[in-house]
């Protein structure tokens, strides 16, 4: 067993190896502690590290480390809540700290795929439960009684005969206890903290303007770096003239790296001015792509047979030949920038001894690997601290700005903070790919008997979710996908692929239900019932859960019986292991539709922090509606045509519908929530506007179809 000498005097990481008899067997990367005396000078004497996740002070205060990056999804509050629940302490006694990247003790320090709580659930619970057990064992040892006669609740251990000791009082002994091999987790029905509303742990800092975000990083000797990047995808730097830039007061240096030029200055403003004063010439030996090129190529692909279908059940052509009605529609989506309100930025200080990195990144582990490769350094010399992030939405999965900071720091031999202007952020993006989908369905006697989906996207890989609904519900089913290669950088954007696919599919089903002469909700329920009774091929989603949210949303929104003047639209989607159904309401105001409300039913397993969970749903809906209505981004000769919010319209307060959220009561393990409310939103709204106006939308943003919302 290797002892790891680090700042902490006791670290352990718990891994589930087996479950037995109500308890859980634990394995450890290493189980036993160094002696506290080794490091006694480095930590405040009154704090005792029980494990990697938590330490307890003599006062009874508990510090809980939040392992994952915080992008606004509330993990910095809700992950420590899970530890505190099993530890059984008062939330008021908890101090939360953001953990740095530390792969020795934490797993999956990623903000992505809405998976932080789902994947972290067991480790977080065990961190708390193990510590609780060590505290109880310490008390039992001190009292010289059997541990089974002791119990713990809200930071106090009780023994027989009225004996009592607080966690703080016993913490120093607990830190010396063996880490238990087996630990009992609470039954979810015993939870007292999970399921209660707890405010954001960074609230005070946020509402008083404390430094929390990457852009708030200021260090001694730090230079501010603003970077000139190729103005169009497909271009390379031919030459540049920095004469003007160097005359800007405050500019210290101009450094070329690859096809980019960094201006280093002693203030952000000087660096920005210096960049504007750079003269550069650009070459291109690649295609310079425009939006009309993407449109043309993607449309071609929609009419091409894929080499291999993504999924094939039955025979769609036979199905179509037997149909008495065929519905075929094409849906089109533009590229989208992420537009995190905090533009990309990162701090780096590269020295011969080590590399210090600090800032907003969703993927610190992968980024550390990339920086190590770039600089030719060992990963053990690279340290990444995580700041709160002013939004992520997928953009900060990609560490290009971290690599830039590291490279500039190395070349300048100086600590630097790289700052993207809004224009840099919007034009040097990792965009949601443009995509198109062709849906074709055959109906016979009002029943869907054939379904064919073709997807095509720019650098999208598989543009479909072939295992999703309606797979399993229809005898003849074919899904095909095409990829259009491009030199435009694309990537994950909140609810990748489904952020548009769900809209297209759920709009199409509204139209299909209408063609079948059926109610849109009943039409879906009938399909699910069919899949339940007689599934076609494998069904990867839980039919009961799916039907559950559909029925719940319909019931809560009074589906089918709206008040006079209200038009309803329905949509439901499964993503990130979570089921969401939404009913949008639209009213007509002076001949223009106004989206007033979206009612959501959500099955995401157990809800840890309801007030924050609702916030995620509300935000997902507003995000989904906003981008469906207004989000538009285009290229001309490789150059982004929108570079700031005067050209790129974002949803604003007056356009945001009210959101009413209903969670399915559940004790199942938690599933995703940062993304799943977004995919159904656009479809629900589009279907409601159709009811109100008779107009269908086949393109996002809806603004393109001249729809104006009041």
Of 50-58, 616-624, 628-636, 664-672: span binding other proteins (CB under 8 A): 616-624
Distance CA 187, CA 176 (A): 28
* Nearest CB to other proteins, comparing residues 213 and 546: 213
Coil vs helix vs strand at 528: helix
CA gyration radius, the chain: 28
SS (H, E, C) 453-469: EEEEEECCCCCCCCCCC
Question: Which is it for the CA torsion 73, 74, 75, 81, positive or negative?
Answer: negative
Kindly state whether residue 347 participates in binding other proteins, applying the rule CB under 8 A: no
Residue 72 CB contacts under 8 Å (≥ 6 apart), including other chains: 389, 390, 391, 392, 619
Kindly state whether residue 584 participates in binding other proteins, applying the rule CB under 8 A: no
CB of 618 to other proteins, least distance (A): 6
Kindly state whether residue 330 participates in binding other proteins, applying the rule CB under 8 A: no
Provide the CA 426 distance to its chain's centre, in angstroms: 19
Distance CA 404, CA 427 (A): 16
Question: Which is it for the CA torsion 314, 315, 321, 326, positive or negative?
Answer: positive
Output the six-digit token pair for 143: 């009292």
CB of 204 to other proteins, least distance (A): 6
Q: Please, which contacts does 376-382 make with residues 24 or more away whose CB atoms are closer than 8 Å?
A: 381/353, 381/354, 381/355, 382/354, 382/355, 382/357
* Nearest CB to other proteins, comparing residues 88 and 660: 660
CB of 651 to other proteins, least distance (A): 7
Output the six-digit token pair for 642: 């929108």
Kindly state whether residue 592 participates in binding other proteins, applying the rule CB under 8 A: no
Kindly state whether residue 215 participates in binding other proteins, applying the rule CB under 8 A: yes
Q: Which residues of 471-504 are buried (b: 16+ CB within 10 A; e: fewer)?
A: bbbbbbbbbbbbbbebebebbbbbbbbbbbbbbb
Kindly state whether residue 148 participates in binding other proteins, applying the rule CB under 8 A: no
Segment 184 to 203, residues that bind other proteins, using CB under 8 A:
197, 199-200, 202-203
Q: In this chain, which of 51, 66, 74, 363 binds other proteins, going by CB under 8 A? A: 74
Distance CA 329, CA 200 (A): 44
Q: In this chain, which of 85, 289, 313, 342 binds other proteins, going by CB under 8 A? A: 342
Kindly state whether residue 204 participates in binding other proteins, applying the rule CB under 8 A: yes
Kindly state whether residue 107 participates in binding other proteins, applying the rule CB under 8 A: no
Kindly state whether residue 645 participates in binding other proteins, applying the rule CB under 8 A: yes
Kindly state whether residue 499 participates in binding other proteins, applying the rule CB under 8 A: no
* Nearest CB to other proteins, comparing residues 501 and 612: 612
CB of 346 to other proteins, least distance (A): 15
* Nearest CB to other proteins, comparing residues 392 and 472: 392
Kindly state whether residue 503 participates in binding other proteins, applying the rule CB under 8 A: no
* Nearest CB to other proteins, comparing residues 67 and 631: 631
Q: In this chain, which of 48, 347, 393, 546 binds other proteins, going by CB under 8 A? A: 393
Question: Pairing relation of β-strands 182-184 and 23-28?
Answer: antiparallel
Of 138-146, 155-163, 285-293, 383-391: span binding other proteins (CB under 8 A): 383-391
SS (H, E, C) 364-404: HHHHHHHHHHHHCCCHHHEEEEECECCCCCCHHHCCHHHHH
Phi, psi of 480 (to 5 degrees): -130, 155
Of 256-264, 281-289, 453-461, 654-662: span binding other proteins (CB under 8 A): 654-662
Kindly state whether residue 92 participates in binding other proteins, applying the rule CB under 8 A: no
Q: Which residues sit at the interface with other proteins, rule CB under 8 A?
A: 70-74, 197, 199-200, 202-213, 215-216, 218, 224, 249-250, 267-270, 273, 339-343, 388-393, 421-423, 611-612, 615-616, 618-623, 626, 644-646, 650-654, 656, 658-659
């Amino acid at each position: 067993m290797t002892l790891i000498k680090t700042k902490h005097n006791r670290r352990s990481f718990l891994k589930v190896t087996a479950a037995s008899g109500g308890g859980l067997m634990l394995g450890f990367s290493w189980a036993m502690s160094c002696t506290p005396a080794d490091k006694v000078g480095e930590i405040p004497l009154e704090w005792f590290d029980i494990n990697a996740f938590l330490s307890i002070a003599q006062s009874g205060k508990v510090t809980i480390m939040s392992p994952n990056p915080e992008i606004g999804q509330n993990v910095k509050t809700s992950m420590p809540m899970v530890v505190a629940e099993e530890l059984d302490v008062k939330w008021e006694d908890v101090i939360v700290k953001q953990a740095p990247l530390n792969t020795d003790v934490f797993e999956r320090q990623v903000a992505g795929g809405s998976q932080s709580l789902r994947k972290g659930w067991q480790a977080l619970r065990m961190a708390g439960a193990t510590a609780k057990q060590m505290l109880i064992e310490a008390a039992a040892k001190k009292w010289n009684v059997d541990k089974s006669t002791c119990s713990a609740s809200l930071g106090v251990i009780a023994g027989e005969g009225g004996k009592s000791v607080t966690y703080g009082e016993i913490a120093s002994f607990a830190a010396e206890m063996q880490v238990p091999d087996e630990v009992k987790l609470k039954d979810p029905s015993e939870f007292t903290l999970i399921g209660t509303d707890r405010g954001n742990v960074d609230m005070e800092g946020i509402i008083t303007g404390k430094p929390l975000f990457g852009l708030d990083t200021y260090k001694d000797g730090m230079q501010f770096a603003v970077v000139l990047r190729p103005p169009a995808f497909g271009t390379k730097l031919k030459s540049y003239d920095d004469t003007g830039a160097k005359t800007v007061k405050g500019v210290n240096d101009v450094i070329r790296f690859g096809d980019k030029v960094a201006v280093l200055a002693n203030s952000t403003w000087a660096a920005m001015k210096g960049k504007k004063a750079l003269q550069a010439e650009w070459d291109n030996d690649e295609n310079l792509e425009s939006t009309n090129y993407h449109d043309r190529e993607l449309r071609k692909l929609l009419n091409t047979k894929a080499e291999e279908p993504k999924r094939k059940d039955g025979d769609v052509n036979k199905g179509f030949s037997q149909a008495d009605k065929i519905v075929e529609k094409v849906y089109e989506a533009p590229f989208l920038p992420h537009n995190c309100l905090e533009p990309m930025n990162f701090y780096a200080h590269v020295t011969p001894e080590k590399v210090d990195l600090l800032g907003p990144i969703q993927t610190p582990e992968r980024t550390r690997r990339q920086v190590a490769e770039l600089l030719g350094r060992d990963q053990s010399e690279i340290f990444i601290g995580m700041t709160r992030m002013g939004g992520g939405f997928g953009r900060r999965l990609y560490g290009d700005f971290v690599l830039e900071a590291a490279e500039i720091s190395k070349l300048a031999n100086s600590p630097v903070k790289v700052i993207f202007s809004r224009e840099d952020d919007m034009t040097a993006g990792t965009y949601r790919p443009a995509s198109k989908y062709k849906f074709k369905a055959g109906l016979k006697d009002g029943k869907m008997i054939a379904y064919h989906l073709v997807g095509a996207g720019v650098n999208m890989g598989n543009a479909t979710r072939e295992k999703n609904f309606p797979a399993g519900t229809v005898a003849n089913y074919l899904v095909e996908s095409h990829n259009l290669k491009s030199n435009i950088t694309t990537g994950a954007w909140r609810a990748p692929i489904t952020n548009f696919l769900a809209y297209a599919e759920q709009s199409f089903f509204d139209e299909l239900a209408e063609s079948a002469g059926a109610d849109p909700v009943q039409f879906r329920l009938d399909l699910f019932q069919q899949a339940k009774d007689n599934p076609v091929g494998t069904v990867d989603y839980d039919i009961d859960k799916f039907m559950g949210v559909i029925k719940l949303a319909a019931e809560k929104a009074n589906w089918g019986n709206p008040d006079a003047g209200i038009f309803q639209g329905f949509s439901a989607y499964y993503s990130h292991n979570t089921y969401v159904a939404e009913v949008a309401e639209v009213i007509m105001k002076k001949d223009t539709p106004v989206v007033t409300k979206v009612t959501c039913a959500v099955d995401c397993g157990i809800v840890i922090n309801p007030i924050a969970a609702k916030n995620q749903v509300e935000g997902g809906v507003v995000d989904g509606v906003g981008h469906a209505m207004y989000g538009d981004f285009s290229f001309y000769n490789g150059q982004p045509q929108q570079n700031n919010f005067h050209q790129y319209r974002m949803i604003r307060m007056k356009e945001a519908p009210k959101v009413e959220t209903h969670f399915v009561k559940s004790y199942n393990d938690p599933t995703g929530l940062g993304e799943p409310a977004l995919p159904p939103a656009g479809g629900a709204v589009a279907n409601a506007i159709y009811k109100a106006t008779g107009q269908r939308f086949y393109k996002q943003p809806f603004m393109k179809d001249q729809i104006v919302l009041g």
